[in-house]
């Protein structure tokens, strides 16, 4: 599973997934762009496309069941509650978690903010047990230089609100976490370590075991950003050993507007709420209120019910393919892409150069052509990639480039997509006269 | 290929051989503008002699559109009054909002000179802000320079 994939040109090994059959499940992949070009979608890392079963699940809910869950006692309300909670169990099962540890949020960003605000709200909570994880002056929060802004800015803000100090683990030249100072950066003052499982820009898969073990030694909480890992590899919270795992539905074939916070129950139980209002309460009086147990404590207001049901359909679609197979497929595609890019003079991959501990986010620069201009030529060929700093500005700064072009892969990505990418890069070099 | 409509030869020439590039003295205002979605950056200095734009000097990094736009702007505003330079900026803004309408470009051809070549960019909403960054920086620098040279008054 971890060897570099290489094979002679023109002699492709069959991919683990039947790409043609999968493409037929995605209505959007039949459309064309820019004067009739086939859509080559290499931007799943930003947001994934949706199979018909996900769209059908949302439509089914609105056409047959629609009601606000956990309110009312009419037939639709009961059915909506049942469908919503069944979806919670399905999504929990996908990551090996009991449903009472699954909190629905808007996306990964909101899930991280939920934890960050709960930790600062803890300092002023009137209930003593809610002060268990309070963060304040003298405490430290640890992140890494590899984080998406969503797993960096909320912690900067938490530190500004509470007087705590933000520290971080740096990066090595080959795109990996520099753990040489792990023992000093994560220390007795550390309250929480927030780290990504898979980098959205470098593709690196991080050695979480070592980081979790160190955090356990010093009694720090661990939050894992799974936005780029949960959609692409098997993730089991029991094996992970962390306290929180966060991910977004829209990056794993599901709808926008739904994300997940998984939290170890005994930790969730001692956190004060973030957003307050309807359905997260226990008793409300004019003088004050008490709060429901998790997960309801963190789900204020009528939830994104149809989207949760759509996400459960996405999970079932992925389970049907098998996450081991999804990972093997992307590894084969990533190996092929790294090989094709290495064949183009002037192209430099920013991130690990082989498929060892690496996912399918491939960032690169093309000598003499700004990433925006590369992206524009690719777009003209019908190829959708991401250009810019990918919401990880410190990473591009670390590697001394203003921005990168990034291709990301998923279950419908085939060799033909990678060949189109390579041809498109060569066309950009020709257009701008650099090769 | 629709690419040529955006990447006019004039634009690529400005990108490869930028006019007026480099930071120079003297100057009354220096501004730093970034395009937060993509990381394009420009540092721009403005030197006024009375009401006249005597120099615009700059350093920047970014895509061909953003960098060529600064170079074309340099040619356009040098020697103009601040009021005229900002009016030209308004014309450029109008061009960027034209969604590729050729009649808009025709009307602005005399005032925008080389910069009318950016008309094709207006068909690509994601790139318009690249072309506008330099003009936004100039507007900002003008306001600051006038506040320095003409405190309490209007030009």
HEC profile of chain A: CCCCCCCCCCCCCCCCCCHHHHHCCCHHHHCEECCCEECEECECCCCCCCCHHHHHHHHHHHHHCCCCCCCCCCHHHHHHHHHHHHHHHHHHHHCCCCHHHEEEECCHHHHHHHHHHHHHHHHHCCCHHHHCCCCCCCCEEEEECCCCHHHCHHHHHHHHHHCCEEEEECECCCCCECCCCHHHHCCCCEEEEEEECECCCCCEECCHHHHHHHHHHHCCEEEEECCCCCCCCCCCHHHHCCCEEEEECCCCCCCCCCEEEEECHHHHCCCCCCCCCCCCEEEEECCEEEECCCCHHHCCCCCCHHHHHHHHHHHHHHHHHCHHHHHHHHHHHHHHHHHHHHCCCCEEEECCCCCCCECCEEEEEECCECHHHHHHHHHHCCEECEEECCCCHHHHHHCCCCCEEEEECCCCCCHHHHHHHHHHHHHHHHHCCCC
Of A376, A388, A431, the CB nearest to B37: A388
Query: Span A266-285, mean pLDDT?
Result: 96
Give pLDDT tens digits for A39-71.
Answer: 999 999 999 999 999 999 999 999 999 999 998
Of A380, A388, A393, the CB nearest to B2: A380
Of A380, A388, A389, the CB nearest to B1: A380
* CATH number of the domain to which B110 belongs: 3.90.1010.10
Tokens of B66: 């953003």
What pLDDT score does A11 carry? 63
The answer, yes or no, to whether residue B153 has pLDDT greater than 90, is no
Identify from B38, B66, B124, B127 which residue to disrupt to test chain A contact, counting A C-beta atoms within 10 A and taking the largest count. Answer: B38
Q: Which of chain B's residues have a Cβ under 8 Å away from the Cβ of A428?
A: none
Of B39, B63, B130, the CB nearest to A393: B39
What pLDDT score does A223 carry? 98
> Would you kindly state where each structural domain of chain A is located, as residue ranges?
19-50+322-431, 65-319
Question: Which band of pLDDT confidence, cut at 50, 70 and 90, is reported for residue A342?
Answer: very high
Put simply, the answer to whether B3 touches A377 (Cβ < 8 Å) is: yes
What residue in B sits closest to A382 (Cα-Cα)?
B1
| Pairing state between β A102-105 and A259-263 | antiparallel
The answer, yes or no, to whether residue B58 has pLDDT greater than 70, is yes
Question: Which residue is it, tokens 């950009």?
Answer: A428
The answer, yes or no, to whether residue B4 has pLDDT greater than 90, is no
Q: Top-level CATH class of A65-319?
A: alpha beta
Of B3, B38, B41, the CB nearest to A372: B38
Put simply, the answer to whether B62 touches A372 (Cβ < 8 Å) is: yes
Give pLDDT tens digits for A278-305.
Answer: 999 999 999 999 999 999 999 999 999 9
Give me the domain span that covers residue B119.
3-149
Question: Which band of pLDDT confidence, cut at 50, 70 and 90, is reported for residue A9?
Answer: low
Q: What mean pLDDT, rounded, does chain A reach?
A: 96
Query: Span A236-263, mean pLDDT?
Result: 98
Identify from A350, A365, A370 which residue to disrupt to test chain B contact, counting B C-beta atoms within 10 A and taking the largest count. Answer: A370
From the number of C-beta atoms within 10 Å of its C-beta (0-12, 13-18, 19+), residue A160 rates as exposed
Helix or strand (DSSP H, E) at B54: strand B52-61
- Does pTM top 0.90 for this prediction? yes
The answer, yes or no, to whether residue A3 has pLDDT greater than 70, is no
Residue A406 near residue A359 (C-beta atoms within 8 A): no
Of B2, B38, B66, the CB nearest to A34: B2
Question: Which band of pLDDT confidence, cut at 50, 70 and 90, is reported for residue B131?
Answer: very high
Residue A326 near residue A106 (C-beta atoms within 8 A): no
CA A365 to chain centre: 23
What pLDDT score does B93 carry? 96
Pick the closest to residue A167 from A134, A200, A191 (CA basis): A191
What pLDDT score does B38 carry? 73
Put simply, the answer to whether B38 touches A373 (Cβ < 8 Å) is: no
Interface of A with B (CB under 8 A): 34-35, 370-373, 376-377, 380, 387-389, 393, 396, 402-403, 431-432
From the number of C-beta atoms within 10 Å of its C-beta (0-12, 13-18, 19+), residue A75 rates as exposed
Q: Read off φ and ψ for residue B119, nearest 5 degrees.
A: -50, -40
Put simply, the answer to whether A388 touches B130 (Cβ < 8 Å) is: no
Q: Which of chain A's residues have a Cβ under 8 Å away from the Cβ of B3?
A: 376-377, 380, 431
Q: How far is B33 from chain A (nearest CA, A)?
A: 14
Put simply, the answer to whether A388 touches B38 (Cβ < 8 Å) is: yes
Looking at chain B, the whole-number percentage of residues with pLDDT higher than 70 is 95
Interface of B with A (CB under 8 A): 1-3, 6-7, 12, 37-41, 61-66, 124, 127, 130
**Chain A with chain B: Cβ pairs closer than 8 A:** 47
Q: How far is B133 from chain A (nearest CA, A)?
A: 15
Put simply, the answer to whether B39 touches A35 (Cβ < 8 Å) is: no
Put simply, the answer to whether A389 touches B39 (Cβ < 8 Å) is: yes
Residue B9 lies in a domain: yes
Report how far residue A129's alpha carbon sits from residue A269's, in angstroms, rounded to the nearest whole number.
9
Q: Top-level CATH class of A19-50+322-431?
A: alpha beta
- Catalytically active residues of A are 391
Residue A371 near residue A350 (C-beta atoms within 8 A): no
Q: Read off φ and ψ for residue B95, nearest 5 degrees.
A: -60, -40
Question: Which band of pLDDT confidence, cut at 50, 70 and 90, is reported for residue A1?
Answer: very low
Give pLDDT tens digits for B79-106.
Answer: 999 999 999 999 999 999 999 888 999 9
Put simply, the answer to whether B6 touches A376 (Cβ < 8 Å) is: yes
């Amino acid at each position: 599973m971890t060897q570099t994939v290489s094979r002679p040109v023109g002699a492709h090994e069959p991919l683990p997934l039947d790409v043609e059959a999968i493409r037929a499940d995605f209505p959007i992949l039949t459309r064309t762009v820019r004067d009739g070009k086939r859509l080559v979608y290499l931007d799943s890392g930003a947001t994934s496309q949706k199979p018909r079963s996900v769209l059908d699940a949302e439509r089914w809910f609105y056409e047959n069941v629609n009601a606000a869950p956990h309110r009312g006692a009419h037939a639709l309300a009961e059915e909506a509650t049942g469908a919503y909670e069944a979806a919670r169990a399905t999504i929990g099962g996908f990551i090996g978690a009991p449903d009472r540890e699954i909190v629905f949020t808007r996306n990964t960003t909101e899930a991280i903010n939920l934890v960050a605000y709960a930790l600062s709200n803890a300092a002023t909570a009137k209930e003593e047990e809610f002060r268990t994880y309070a963060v304040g002056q003298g405490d430290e929060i640890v992140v890494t230089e590899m984080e998406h802004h969503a797993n960096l800015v909320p912690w900067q803000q938490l530190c500004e609100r509470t007087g705590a100090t933000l520290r971080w683990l740096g990066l090595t030249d080959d795109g990996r976490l520099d753990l040489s100072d792990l023992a000093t950066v994560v220390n007795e003052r550390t309250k929480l370590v927030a780290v990504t499982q898979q980098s959205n820009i470098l593709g690196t898969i991080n050695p979480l075991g070592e980081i979790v073990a160190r955090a356990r030694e010093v009694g720090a909480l661990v939050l894992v950003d799974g936005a780029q890992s949960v959609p692409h590899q098997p993730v089991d919270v029991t094996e992970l050993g962390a306290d929180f795992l966060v991910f977004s539905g829209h990056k794993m074939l599901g709808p926008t507007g739904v994300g997940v916070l998984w939290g170890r129950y005994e930790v969730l139980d001692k956190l004060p709420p973030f957003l307050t209002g309807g359905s997260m309460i226990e008793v409300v009086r004019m003088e004050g209120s008490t709060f429901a147990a998790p997960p309801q404590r963190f789900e204020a207001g009528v939830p994104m019910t149809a989207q949760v049901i759509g996400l459960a359909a996405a999970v079932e679609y992925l389970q049907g393919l098998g996450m081991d197979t999804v990972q093997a497929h992307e590894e084969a595609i990533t190996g092929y892409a790294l090989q094709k890019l290495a064949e183009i003079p002037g192209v430099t991959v920013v991130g690990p150069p082989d498929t060892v501990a690496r996912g399918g986010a491939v960032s690169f620069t093309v000598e003499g052509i700004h990433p925006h201009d590369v992206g524009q030529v690719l777009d003209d060929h019908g190829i959708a990639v991401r250009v810019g700093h990918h919401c990880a500005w410190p990473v591009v700064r670390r590697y001394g480039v203003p921005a990168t072009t990034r291709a990301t892969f998923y279950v419908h990505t085939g060799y033909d997509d990678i060949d189109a990418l390579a041809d498109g890069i060569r066309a950009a070099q020709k257009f701008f006269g650099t090769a | 290929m629709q690419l040529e409509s955006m990447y006019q030869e004039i634009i690529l020439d400005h990108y490869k051989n930028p006019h007026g590039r480099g930071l120079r003295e003297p100057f009354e205002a220096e501004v730093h503008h970034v395009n937060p979605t993509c990381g394009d950056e420009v540092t721009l200095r403005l030197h006024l002699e009375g009401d006249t734009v005597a120099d615009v000097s700059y350093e920047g990094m970014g895509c061909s559109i953003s960098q060529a736009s600064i170079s074309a702007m340099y040619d356009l505003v040098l020697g103009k009054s601040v009021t005229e330079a900002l009016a030209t900026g308004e014309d450029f803004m109008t061009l960027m909002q034209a969604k590729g309408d050729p009649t808009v470009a025709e009307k602005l051809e005399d005032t925008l000179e080389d910069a009318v070549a950016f008309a094709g960019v207006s068909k690509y909403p994601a790139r318009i802000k690249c072309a506008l960054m330099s003009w936004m920086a100039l507007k900002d620098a003008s306001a600051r320079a006038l506040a320095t040279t003409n405190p309490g008054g209007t030009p």
